[in-house]
Amino acid sequence: MNAPLLEVEHLTMRFGGLVAVDDLSFTAMDQRITAIIGPNGAGKTTVFNCLTGFYRPTVGRLTFHGRFGPVLLEREDGFRIPRHGIARTFQNIRLFAHMTALENLVVAQHNHLMRASGYTVLGLFGWKGYRAAERAAIERARYWLDRMGLLARADWDAGSLPYGEQRKLEIARAMCTQPKLLCLDEPAAGLNPRETAELAELLVEIRDREQIGILLIEHDMSMVMRISDQIIVLDYGRKIAEGTPEQIRTDPVVIKAYLGEAEDEELPEEVREDLARLGGGA
Amino acid sequence: MSTVATVGPRATAGGFDLARALKEAGLAAFVAFVLFVPLAGFKLVGQEGQLALEYRPHWVLIGTAAVFVGHLAINFIRAMRGPSQRARGEAGAMARFFTVHARWFGLAAALLAFLLPFTPLGNRYVVDVATTVLIYVMLGWGLNIVVGLAGLLDLGYVAFYAVGAYSYALFAQWFGLGFWEALPIAGVLAAIAGILLGFPVLRLRGDYLAIVTLGFGEIIRVVLLNWYDVTNGPDGISGIPRPTFFGLEFKRYSPDGMTFSQFFGIEYSSLHRVIFLYYLILILALITNWFVLRIRRLPIGRAWEALREDEIACKALGINPTNTKLTAFALGAMFGGFAGSFFATRQGFISPESFTFIESATILAIVVLGGMGSQIGVALAALVIVVLPELGREFEQFRMLLFGAAMVGIMVWRPRGLLAFREPTVRLHGRGQGEEAPR
Ligand SMILES: Nc1ncnc2c1ncn2[C@@H]1O[C@H](COP(=O)(O)OP(=O)(O)OP(=O)(O)O)[C@@H](O)[C@H]1O
Ligand SMILES: [Mg+2]
């Protein structure tokens, strides 16, 4: 249960002279929510892009204990990584806007369906096995639409859904790939407080029911503090702290990073928390 | 913010900003004037054995005035119709109606097409034009895979048409293959050409892709033109065998066996072959349609559309973009190849002349006019594009002008194509159930 799921060792990512991620090491546990926080430009999204094969790390080893045993992610082609059980969402939502919500979730099961359709050949002739596989895929899509409360809007174009529902749909789409690790890049951005609270509940539920690990980038500190099992704090690409929410909340280094040079040791707890919640702005 | 920016200037009082429209029309007229002065303003005339210039200021004035009025009219129409159709990506009730009932329209159209040669309309000329329409319908449906579904702008589609035509011509010439034996070979060769084009352009999108594919189309044509030993260069290949009806030839007499008319004991008529060719392309086109409709609902078809929408998201879902794109290129090209074979057997003669850029442009125009991804729309657009110039024959040199005006008209009224309405590949709720999406 408490096995490591993802081990990041000495991850460094340089863009020309800019070091976006600097010698970062951490371990994300199975069935745990691991949050990555830090001010704007700290390198959080870059970490995700390295994990999911969009960037090739300059240095580092990324071991993922995936569906077929351990793999070194830095050596895999980007589009192969999801097969090992990593799914992600994007900071700026990337849905297939002119396809329906349901279609978005069916596309997420592409590789499985492709095999079932005999790489299209059998599917063309309406082979029974493929039709069964497609029905199962639609069933899975329906399940996730239902859990996200999107069932009635299944046949809407994804692009015409309200913003909050688009965020949910993107999570549902990631879940339809049946991942072992779900990477969420600021899922609460743009949500109102009520939606954020629902989202927090949902993530905990996904962790416990689906029994998967979640890697969470988030600026909303109240949510991070409430649901994370482990928090990693980045600043200028470097890890400046790591620990449970309680440890992070009171860590002077973290507070300093978030508030810049301002002296804050004397601030009362509530004020400090509020400032931290404003987080990225600092 | 972006909505304000797009709606802003036109949103005033539901519409028409006269000063602005006048200014824009004036600008367009000025550009037209600059162009018309050298193009239409002078005419070379022979005068007492010498060349002299004749000045034609009235032509320049007429042209400039036409542009001014036309520009103003287009702006006015746009303003009256409201600014939003394009901005909201709205499809229009008619497009929706057509697409939702596509099955019935399709069946009715197919039935009409099957009966056409036997109706009073079905004279030689009409059947011949209908055959040409169907070639373009098939090409449009083939290109629709690449452009409409996968969203890859291909300006060199005629290359695959040419590969198919030359494949059949050459295999017939060298190995004596008949149409039916050569057809699959032509399809495969065209598909290989599609993959060969696909590899270098995998990373390109939009304009860049269009330019490279345009170049590819030209390369194929130039090769055909210059590879004398094989393709006979600009002289082309003649004597391409005509198709047979299960081995029965369409001739008055045949040295090797029975002819079609002898077998069925009917009087020989040269119309038989025309009608046979018509049915041949009709069936090929219907197979193409079946294939495209079918594959759109398969994982590969959905992956094409997803790729068109967002390639990065596709990668994050484990879709291999390389293979997906190459399949689109290959399958699109394959149907181009089939159509090319048919073209060769219909004409009996081919030369590089038939495979110029204007063909690619016409096919692309059909797909865009039809409404990308819409099968019925493409068929309708092919009809318009082939038949309109035919109807305009009386107008002689004004024919292309009318044609151009019609194209502009369609793009003004239906900027996203005649029938741009996407029917989902799969539904959870029946039509009218579930929540109604905002349109
Ligand atoms: N492809 C790239 N090329 C060059 N620089 C990049 C690239 N991607 C990211 N960077 C830089 O790396 C740094 C970290 O960016 P990153 O997007 O990872 O930050 P972040 O922590 O996700 O910030 P935010 O909270 O704003 O999303 C930034 O300075 C950014 O400009
Ligand atoms: Mg980011």
Q: Where are the domains of chain B?
A: 18-82, 101-426
pLDDT band for position A36 (cuts 50, 70, 90): very high
The answer to whether residue A189 scores a pLDDT higher than 50 is yes
The answer to whether residue A106 scores a pLDDT higher than 90 is yes
The answer to whether residue A144 scores a pLDDT higher than 90 is yes
The answer to whether residue A63 scores a pLDDT higher than 60 is yes
Among A229-238, B38-47, B251-260, name the one with the lowest average pLDDT: B251-260
B319/A52 CB distance under 8 A: no
Give the strands of the sheet with A59-66, arranged side by side. A18-29, A4-15, A59-66, A69-72
What is this model's ipTM?
0.84
B170-181 average pLDDT score:
83
Q: What is the pLDDT of residues A199-220, one digit of tens each?
A: 999 999 998 898 899 999 988 8
How many CB atoms lie under 10 A from the CB of residue A190?
A: 13
B219-245 average pLDDT score:
81
Percent of chain A whose pLDDT exceeds 70: 89
Helix spans in B249-391 (H): 260-264, 271-296, 299-309, 311-316, 321-347, 357-370, 375-391
Q: Give the position, in ligand 1's atom list, of the atom nearest the Cα of A55.
A: 1
Question: What confidence score (pLDDT) does residue B395 get?
Answer: 65
Among A161-170, B271-280, B419-428, name the one with the lowest average pLDDT: B419-428
Question: What confidence score (pLDDT) does residue B415 get?
Answer: 65
Task: State how far the Cα of B161 lies from the Cα of B138, in Å rounded to an integer.
Answer: 11
The answer to whether residue A224 scores a pLDDT higher than 70 is yes
Mean pLDDT of chain A: 84
Structure-token match 């484990």, residue found: B318
Q: How would you classify the pairing of strands A86-88 and A181-185?
A: parallel
Among A66-70, A186-190, B408-412, name the one with the lowest average pLDDT: B408-412
The residue among A47 and A124 whose pLDDT is bigger is: A47
Q: In angstroms, what is the span from residue A212 Cα to ligand 1's centroid?
A: 27
Task: State how far the Cα of A20 lies from the Cα of A18, in Å rounded to an integer.
Answer: 6
The torsion region of residue B14 among left (phi > 0), alpha (psi -120 to 50) and beta comes to: left
B435/A152 CB distance under 8 A: yes
Percent of chain B whose pLDDT exceeds 90: 17
Residue of B nearest to A83 (CA): B318
Question: What confidence score (pLDDT) does residue A151 get?
Answer: 87
Question: What confidence score (pLDDT) does residue B140 get?
Answer: 92
Q: Give the position, in ligand 1's atom list, of the atom nearest the Cα of A47.
A: 18
CA-nearest residue for atom 8, ligand 1, is A46
Question: What confidence score (pLDDT) does residue B253 get?
Answer: 67
Closest ligand by atom to A41 CA: 1
Residues with CB under 6 A from ligand 1: A 15, 18, 20, 38, 40-46, 91, 280
Question: What confidence score (pLDDT) does residue A2 get?
Answer: 75
Question: What confidence score (pLDDT) does residue B70 get?
Answer: 86
Question: What confidence score (pLDDT) does residue A269 get?
Answer: 62
Find chain A residues with C-beta within 8 A of B320's C-beta: 79
Question: What confidence score (pLDDT) does residue A179 get?
Answer: 92
- What chain A holds in terms of domains, given with CATH numbers, is 1-85+179-282 (3.40.50.300), 95-178 (no CATH)
Stated pTM of the model: 0.80
pLDDT band for position B165 (cuts 50, 70, 90): very high
B177-181 average pLDDT score:
81
B427/A79 CB distance under 8 A: no
DSSP letter for B141, please: H
B244-270 average pLDDT score:
67
Question: What confidence score (pLDDT) does residue B210 get?
Answer: 80
Q: What is the pLDDT of residues B75-126, one digit of tens each?
A: 787 777 654 444 444 456 666 666 667 677 778 888 887 777 777 777 878 8
Find chain A residues with C-beta within 8 A of B432's C-beta: none
CB A53 within 8 A of CB A76: yes
Q: What is the pLDDT of residues B321-343, one digit of tens each?
A: 888 999 999 999 999 999 999 99
Residue of A nearest to B432 (CA): A155
B318/A138 CB distance under 8 A: no
- Nearest 5°: the CA angle A16, A19, A25 is 140
Question: What confidence score (pLDDT) does residue B9 get?
Answer: 39
Question: What confidence score (pLDDT) does residue B265 get?
Answer: 64
Amino acid in the structure at residue A181: L
pLDDT band for position B4 (cuts 50, 70, 90): very low
Tell me the CATH number for domain B101-426.
1.10.3470
Question: What confidence score (pLDDT) does residue B87 get?
Answer: 41
Question: What confidence score (pLDDT) does residue B399 get?
Answer: 63
A111/B309 CB distance under 8 A: no
Closest ligand by atom to A38 CA: 1
CA distance A264 to chain B (A): 37
